[in-house]
Amino acid sequence: MFEQSISTLAQKLRNKDISSVELTRLFLARIAKLDPQLNSYITVSEQRALEQAATADALIQNGKGTSLTGIPIAHKDLFCTEGTLTTCGSKMLNNFIPPYESTVTSRIQQAGAVMLGKTNMDEFAMGSSNENSFYGAVKNPWNLDMVPGGSSGGSAAAIAAGLAVAATGTDTGGSIRQPASFCGITGLKPTYGRVSRFGMIAYASSLDQGGPMAKSAEDCAHLMQAMAGFDEKDSTSADTPSEDYLANLNAPLTGLKIGLPKEYFGEGLDSQVADIIMAAVKEFEKLGATVKEISLPNLQLSIPSYYVIAPSEASSNLSRFDGVRFGHRCDDPKDLLDMYMRSRAEGFGTEVQKRIMVGTYALSEGYYDAYYLKAQKIRRLIKEDFVKALDEVDVIMGPVAPTTAFGLGSKTSDPVAMYLEDIYTLSVNLAGIPAMSVPAGFANGMPVGLQVMGNYFAEAKLLNVAHQYQQNTDWHLQTPTMAKGA
């Protein structure tokens, strides 16, 4: 059952081949058996899951519900879930039980999906390896000595190992696409504003975007049907009508124009990864697409601009965690200042503290113009590069990351090497366009993801492109050895 698609499981539920309660129990049993090796979940909400499954069975019995009704999924642990611990992977929120539901989890719950639990993540979504969690590192199910990618590594690992049918993730600089690539699953980062950020604990407000993660593009489309749409509770939500993300999955790709940025295939890209990406592009040519080289000349500036903008916004967003209203508070503070200082020093991990300090410096008097303002000007140039390129082509393709998953602990002492892992993903967030990672092969025994980028609000087109590729390849159907027969 754990390898079945949402469509297949939904049909089985409708046919009464299995009940949602039975299906949910199967997944809870797999989590209990396999997750001690992976550490992909922070919280397993067994009672809530079984209650939701029973409700779903009643809806199905009455001929109601959606394609998600009764399907067991997981949520990244920065989406607020009413009555269920929401930690953001941090000691700071180790005791935070939200009194309200995020828009994303609420919409998915209304669609009838079952929440198995909350997945592990880099603390406050700051990281590319899922080693920055207060709850310990997540392991990659393809090789337990490797990272699953970050910050949505818990969601990616859980899906790859069959511990959830699908999951939510968030992407601030590649945090859906990179772990999807490292774990051999499909992940979509929507256009900024397409999915509500209400109830999503903020890292960098102008970059954060929630999105679906699953085995296939079709499964991601099912989740997008529920997640996407305008939300009056979110001032950054785009008041643009959502598409039917399932309607055009089978549209042919004849005449599709693909752009390959020359900057994505230069120094630093592993040669095996490059070969896999080019082999995937040739598959699209067989499906009727045409390919041309394009240029994104400001790509190299995406890392320095991102690591000024994102920490600056984090410095502001995380100022609310001060030990006063909620979250971690130090013991026996001497006075208010002591409480602020010790609560934050004890509650935040090393990487979060680093980024807060960088952001505070960049926003300080005398440095705002030199750093933050200049980074925003570079951001505009990066956006214009994409706008120009997407006037010439329908989609842009390239690698998600320069390498496959790297070893646990291999880059923790070298932040520059860690940040360079995001060289191909950061620019997408700075521009605000949609992009996804699609399984495209294996190098050194580890999965490789093809990155597909599109124009604003073109998620349906990206899902169509990915789905057609997956109808002609089976990379997305591969399963890690540890997950088989469990």
Q: What is the pLDDT of residues 43-95, one digit of tens each?
A: 999 999 999 999 999 999 999 989 999 999 999 999 999 999 999 999 999 99
308 lies in some domain: no
Average pLDDT over residues 405-425: 90
Number of compact structural domains in the chain: 1
Task: Classify residue 362: in a domain, yes or no.
Answer: no
| Cα separation values, 83 from 47, 80, 99, 181, 212, Å | 12, 9, 6, 32, 23
In-domain check, residue 290: no
Q: Is residue 378 part of a domain?
A: no
What does the pLDDT look like over 223-279, one tens digit per residue?
Answer: 999 999 999 999 999 999 989 999 999 999 999 999 999 999 988 999 999 999 999
Helix 46-61 / helix 6-14 crossing angle, nearest 10 deg: 60
Q: Is residue 99 part of a domain?
A: yes
pLDDT greater than 70 at residue 486: no
Residues that are catalytic: 76, 151, 175
Contact 215, 477 (CB under 8 A): yes
Q: Is residue 357 part of a domain?
A: no
Q: How confident is the model at residue 465 (pLDDT cuts 50, 70, 90)?
A: very high
Q: Is 37 domain-assigned?
A: yes
Peptide bond into 90 cis (omega under 30): no
The CATH code of the domain that includes 472 is 3.90.1300.10
Residue 133 in domain: yes
Q: What percent of the chain has pLDDT over 90?
A: 93
pTM for this predicted structure: 0.96
Q: What domain range is 81 assigned to?
A: 6-258+392-481
